[in-house]
Each structure stands twice: as C-alpha cells, then as structure tokens.
Amino acid sequence: MELDKIEEKDLKMGKANQEVFSITLQELAETNKDIIAVTSDSRGSGKLVPFGQKYPNQIVEVGIAEQNLVGVAAGLASAGKNVFAVSPACFLSARALEQIKNDVCYSDNPVTLVGISAGVSYGALGTTHHSLHDYAVLRAINNITILAPADNFETEQAVRLAAQHDKPIYMRFGKKTMPFLNENNKTFEFGKGRVIRDGDDIAIIASGETVYPAWLAAKKLEDDHDIKATVISMHTIKPLDLNLIENLAKNGRPIIIVEEHMVTGGLGEACASHLFQHGFKNPFQIIGIPDEYTVTGSQVEIFNHYGISKEGIYKTCKKMLNI
C-alpha cells in the first residue's frame, strides 16, 4: 500500500475531529432544516457556537441538564426531527444513561448522541470528566451503534451517515488535531473496520484517537525490524466487524487492541470474546486504561503512562513477537 511509504513528517494534519463534526453538521443543516442540535451549556466545547449563530432555530439549549438533554432529544426525534444531542462524553454516557437506555434505545428514537472531549481528552480535569466507561455501558444496551472515528475523513463520513440513519447512534470525539490516515482508502461504512495499513506479521486494532499512535508504532516496527503490521481503525465498536477480525486472526499473527477506554468492557474484550468463542488462539493483548485510580495529567501524559503511545505500542508489539 502506498501509505506505507508515507513518512511521519509527510502526514497531512487536519483539525480536531470534534471541529469537523461541527463543520459537517453546519453543512448538513443548511439544506436539511430538520436537523437540530441539542446542547447542555456545551456548544463551546462542541464547537457549535457558529452553528448556533447561523441556525438559531436549529439549536435547542437545555442548560446544564444532561438527562433532560437526552429526553428532549428523544422527543424531538420521535416528532420527526433529525437530532444530534451534543454533550461531553463523560456526562452524556453516565448521567443520562437511563434516558439513553429507555428513551432512545428501547423506545427506538433515532437520536445521534455526540460525546465530545471523549476518553481522557479533558486530561487534568480528572475522572469526573473522563469517559472510559462509555463503550462498556453502551455495548450492554441493545439497539445502538457505537462509533469512534479516527480522523477527519472518518468523522465527516460518520456525521453524514448518521444524518441518514434511522436508528440510535453514539459517537465520540476528541479535541486533539488529527492527521489524515490512509487517504487512499475512501470507504467508510458503519460496522466495517477501515484498513489503515496492511502487513502479515502482526495486527493492531485501534479506535478513535489511538489509531494515530498505532500507525506510528507500525511504521517504526517496519523501519527498525522490517516487521509488517496491519493497522485497523475499528471506528465502529458496535456492531463489531467480526469478519474482519476473523480474517486478521486466520494466519495466527498476534493481535493487539489499543483503546482510549478501560480495558474492562471495551473494544479489546469485545474482540477477545468473539475470537475465543470461535476457536482462535492468537497471541492477544489489550492496551487500554487499567482498572485503577487513573493517573493524573494531560491526555498525552495519561497515554504515555499506560503505553497508548508510539513507543508503548511498539514495545508491546515487540514483546509479543519475541524480538
């Protein structure tokens, strides 16, 4: 693949995914007057201030009240509106969990829940502001698609598809500037992992903002040891791309999952469960946040601490390959 020839310095940097979310939503809202953004004093962090100025009739503000946010969004959706409920991922997926479970998923109201500043994007604001549980709790709820786009391309596609989708969706975004990852691969479909890089020796499955360090680690493995690593952006956590996972596992290569989430209940455990139940015995490792009092610091510091970094992923891969 051509992308393998790209050097780190040549990667085209884009914007923060949550900014692309807001730009895309604005574009959609211009022609689709049913699009409504619902916010909870969150339009600043959701980059929706320009949206609110341009389309004052397409934004509903509920104040700091996330449960109300999701309930109101469900009502709007039920009445035929195309609703994006936007709030920090931590509050949206914890505070409003019952509204998500009952009013959105169980009652099947097609709301798109947009969790901003997800994972540990809020860094030193601490655990109240981290969402390291959202995949886990939402995976355990029926009738919701869970998305964590890796780059600006995936983000734009996800938002456009969400506007046409008639089922509940949760998508989470971070606030870090992201590079474009594999511009040659222009396919994006819910439930289909995106191949960012291809190689037979080891497979790294990542999601959201962890795909970038996974790609860097893969590059370094090739540069230093001529190890060819596949890197997958598993942007859809649910429904999981089981075909792809099985295909990756078939040649017996080690599989590493990287996620900005607690290891408990995350993408890694979802992959492990499927592989184990289908008789696969690949070496398997999950790099994520362990079940402990999360170390304090910025997102980068937390990532480095737990090995969710170029160096950390590189080291784990080497260990699994015994080199």
Partner 1 sequence: MTKKELQMKSVFLRKNLLKYIYKAKAGHTGGSLSCVDTLNVLYNRVLNVEPSNFRDPSRDRYIQSKGHCVEALFVTLADRGFFPESDLETLCQYQSHYIGHPTKKVNGVEQNTGALGHGLSICVGEAIAAKLDHKTHRVFTLLGDGELPEGSNWEAFLSASHYKLDNLYAILDNNKQQITGYNKEVMNIDSIREKLESFGWAVKEIDGHNLEELEGALNNGPFETGKPNFIIAHTIKGKGVSYMEGVTKWHHGVPTPEQYELALSELTEAEALI
Ligand X SMILES: Cc1ncc(C[n+]2csc(CCOP(=O)(O)OP(=O)(O)O)c2C)c(N)n1
**Which residues are near partner 1 by CB under 8 A?**
39, 41-45, 61-65, 67-68, 90-91, 94-95, 123-129, 295-298, 301, 305
3-state secondary structure of 309: coil
Given candidates 4, 34, 41, 183, which one binds ligand X under the rule CB under 6 A?
Answer: 41
Least Å distance, CB 125 to partner 1, is 4
For residues 128 and 133, give the distance between their C-alpha atoms in angstroms, rounded to a whole number.
11
| Binder of residue 124, out of ligand X, partner 1, none (CB less than 5 to 8 A by kind) | partner 1
For residues 94 and 91, give the distance between their C-alpha atoms in angstroms, rounded to a whole number.
5
Subset of residues 262 to 281 that bind ligand X, contact rule: CB under 6 A: none
Give whichever of 66 and 154 is closer to partner 1, judged by the CB atom: 66
**DSSP β-bridge partners for residue 83:** 36
Least Å distance, CB 117 to ligand X, is 10
> Is there a contact between 197 and 108 (Cβ–Cβ < 8 Å)?
no
Subset of residues 48 to 107 that bind ligand X, contact rule: CB under 6 A: 64, 91, 95
Asked if omega into 239 is within 30° of 0 (cis), the reply is yes
Q: Which residues contact 59 (CB under 8 A, 6 or more apart)?
A: 36, 37, 38, 39, 43, 48, 51, 52
140 binds ligand X (CB under 6 A): no
| Binder of residue 90, out of ligand X, partner 1, none (CB less than 5 to 8 A by kind) | partner 1
Contacts with ligand X by CB under 6 A: the residue count is 4
Least Å distance, CB 81 to ligand X, is 23
Least Å distance, CB 41 to partner 1, is 5
> Is there a contact between 80 and 96 (Cβ–Cβ < 8 Å)?
no
> Is there a contact between 306 and 286 (Cβ–Cβ < 8 Å)?
no
Q: Which residues contact 52 (CB under 8 A, 6 or more apart)?
A: 37, 39, 43, 59, 61
Give whichever of 91 and 135 is closer to ligand X, judged by the CB atom: 91
Least Å distance, CB 123 to partner 1, is 8
Least Å distance, CB 46 to ligand X, is 11
Give whichever of 1 and 295 is closer to partner 1, judged by the CB atom: 295
Q: Which residues contact 94 (CB under 8 A, 6 or more apart)?
A: 131, 133, 134, 137
> Is there a contact between 16 and 178 (Cβ–Cβ < 8 Å)?
yes
Which residues here bind ligand X, judged by CB under 6 A?
41, 64, 91, 95
